Amino acid sequence: MNRYLPLFLILLVSTGSLAQRRVKMKHADSLIGSIRNGDRFDRLIGNVIFIQNTTTIYCDSAHFFKTKNKIEAYGKVHIIDGDSVDVTSRELTYDGNDKIAHLRKKVVFTKLGIATLYTENLDYDRKKNEAKYFNGGKLVDTTNVLTSKKGYYDVRTNLAAFKSDVVGVNPDYTLNSDTLQYNSKTRIIYFKDETIVKDKDGGVAIYKSGFYNTNQKLSALNLGVIESVEYKIKGDAYDIDDAKKIYKAKGRVVMTSKEENMLIFGDDSFYDKKTGISKVYGNAYVAKIDDDLDTLFISADTLVSIENKNPKKKRLLAYNKVKIFKKDLQGIADSLVYRSLDSTIYFYRAPALWSSGNQMTADSIRIRLKNKKIDKLYMVANSFVVSQDSLSNFNQIKGRNMTTDFKGSSINNVLVEGNAESLYYALEEREEDLDSIRVKLTITMGMNKMICSKMRIIFVDGKVNTVNAYVKPDAQFIPPHQIKEADRKLKGFIWRGEERPTREQVVKKDGNESHPSKIVKH
């Protein structure tokens, strides 16, 4: 007898399993037997109820194919699946063997306490715990509304995937994408394709990967673009805190100005939306291009952009180890300020500028740009203009304040006001016979020295041509043999030629693919 026990157990288990698979009709007001294409079925009308395990199906009427374990339900269809899923529709086809429900017309799929999905066509696979729509749908929770042409919802993980014409709406932003994932429990959005996010203040961000926590308003992103009021910000990775309105970009950062032909490069950056302040640091430099593609480069330890509705308060700051390079101008300073309103660059703390063969120094210097070209250069306190001639003599101009006018890319004239002094060497070129060979020689004829209250120096081809002195000038010409070493330098003279930066010292090799010459105006 014991030999039949295993067979009995197998039959018992199989019977129990089969019973779990069968759909049972629990109630109907009326039942009419019928046949369709040779298949017998029951026509159920009024308060129809079916059950299968923990699933209950309600409807107004139904066709029940008991042999096929299949239901066709109509009217107010209502499915309760366990204690977490609630679904309503107007029509239902349910296969009890595969446990797949095909719901049509005004479908409302609810994961209780989590989210609700609205669509006209939904297939719900109870085995996979997955709901799919394919002709437009909308997912709604307490935080977000997400719509798309196609999508699916995983009941176990609460992860929804959206495909084609994805639109997300939130009190703080709207987003558009082709592919997106969203966890309706954690409220985290996962970016799987280029996604454009516009916030309520008009800011725009473009994300290609990463995630955004809509509850905490935090995100970690890769390969995207953030837009502030005045810049587009791009990097390899992003950290976003929407609650505090702080946005960080890391790795090959590029900030593109929307108003000017200007890019800011660096290793890291952050943008504080509340204050309108952006910072870039780590191999940081600016590339500002003129219409003729003559680029002004500015590098520093840290670059700061300040946005403001008041144009007078908008500016770009650079501080610590500032260097600038332009074909016709190079310079260094401890810090720098660029104001776009009046196109003026301010240099502070021991600045030095070089143009052609001229070195300009002062306690502070400012450059005014006109039509994106250098127009005037103002030197304030302890001003010096120095150049070295072909015989290594140093021509010098000194004064309290100086104003330098440019013509094209060269110095045209310098106006010196207050305690003006000048010292420049008169040179002469001669041809002489040396060992029966005719050679050209340059010799020093003497040194011109002048002191007055005010003077104007006219330059030709970047070199001193004439000096005009005003208010009690005291001038003397010293022959070469009478020039003393102490007379060769004005008080405070320093030659800083070795500090003159090259392009390679200013333009950092950061591996960025964006080349300054390719900037276009936005």
Q: What's the confidence (pLDDT) of residue 3?
A: 52
Q: Are 245 and 269 in contact (CB under 8 A)?
A: no
Q: Residue 448 in 3-state DSSP?
A: strand
Task: For the chain, give the percent of residues with pLDDT over 90.
Answer: 50
Give the model confidence (pLDDT) of 273-305 as tens digits.
888 899 999 999 998 877 666 788 999 999 998
Q: Are 114 and 158 in contact (CB under 8 A)?
A: yes
- Across residues 487-515, what is the average pLDDT? 82
Q: How far apart are CA 239 and CA 228, in angstroms?
A: 15
Residue 209 to residues 17, 114, 145, Cα–Cα distance (Å) = 45, 25, 20
Q: What's the confidence (pLDDT) of residue 26?
A: 92
Query: Among the listed ranges 129-133, 224-228, 464-468, which one has the minimum average pLDDT value?
Result: 224-228
Q: Cα angle at 518 between 289 and 513, to 5 degrees? A: 120
Model confidence at 409: pLDDT above 60 = yes
In the chain, the amino acid numbered 155 is V
Q: How far apart are CA 44 and CA 25, in angstroms?
A: 9
Q: How far apart are CA 152 and CA 476, in angstroms?
A: 93
Q: Residue 131 in 3-state DSSP?
A: strand
For the record, the structure tokens of 45 come out as 């009308």
Give the model confidence (pLDDT) of 135-170 as tens digits.
999 999 988 899 999 999 999 899 999 999 999 998
> Which range is most confident: 87-96, 228-237, 422-431?
87-96
CA dihedral 145, 148, 152, 156 (to 10 degrees): -10
Q: Cα angle at 142 between 140 and 146, to 5 degrees? A: 30
User: CATH topology of 21-135 equal to that of 350-497?
Assistant: yes
Model confidence at 257: pLDDT above 80 = yes
- How does residue 222 score in pLDDT terms, banded at 50, 70 and 90? low
The CATH superfamily assigned to 21-135 is: Lipopolysaccharide (LPS) transport protein A like domain (2.60.450.10)
Q: How far apart are CA 156 and CA 164, in angstroms?
A: 24
Q: Are 422 and 457 in contact (CB under 8 A)?
A: yes
Q: What's the confidence (pLDDT) of residue 520?
A: 40
- Give the DSSP H or E segment for 19: helix 5-21
Give the model confidence (pLDDT) of 435-478 as tens digits.
667 778 888 899 999 999 999 989 888 777 888 888 888 989 99
The pTM of the full predicted model, rounded to 2 decimals, is: 0.64
Model confidence at 244: pLDDT above 50 = yes
The phi, psi pair for 109, rounded to 5°, reads -110, 120
The domain spans of the chain are 21-135, 350-497
Q: How far apart are CA 462 and CA 484, in angstroms?
A: 27
Model confidence at 324: pLDDT above 90 = yes
Q: What's the confidence (pLDDT) of residue 136?
A: 94
Locus of tokens 């994300």: 207
Q: Are 431 and 355 in contact (CB under 8 A)?
A: no
Q: What's the confidence (pLDDT) of residue 107?
A: 96
Q: Are 235 and 252 in contact (CB under 8 A)?
A: yes
Q: What is the mean pLDDT of the chain?
A: 85
Q: What's the confidence (pLDDT) of residue 292?
A: 60
Q: What is the 3-state secondary structure (H, E, C) of 468-514?
A: EEECCCEEEEECHHHCCHHHHCCCCCCCCHHHCCCHHHHCCCCCCCC
212 vs 404, higher pLDDT: 404
Model confidence at 223: pLDDT above 60 = no
Q: What's the confidence (pLDDT) of residue 514?
A: 47
Q: What's the confidence (pLDDT) of residue 522?
A: 36
The domain defined by 350-497 folds into lipopolysaccharide transport protein A fold (2.60.450)
- Across residues 99-119, what is the average pLDDT? 94
Q: What's the confidence (pLDDT) of residue 10?
A: 42
Q: What's the confidence (pLDDT) of residue 20?
A: 58
Q: What's the confidence (pLDDT) of residue 12?
A: 39
Query: Among the listed ranges 142-151, 216-225, 298-307, 341-350, which one has the minimum average pLDDT value?
Result: 216-225
Model confidence at 513: pLDDT above 80 = no
- Across residues 397-421, what is the average pLDDT? 89
Model confidence at 210: pLDDT above 50 = yes
Model confidence at 177: pLDDT above 60 = yes
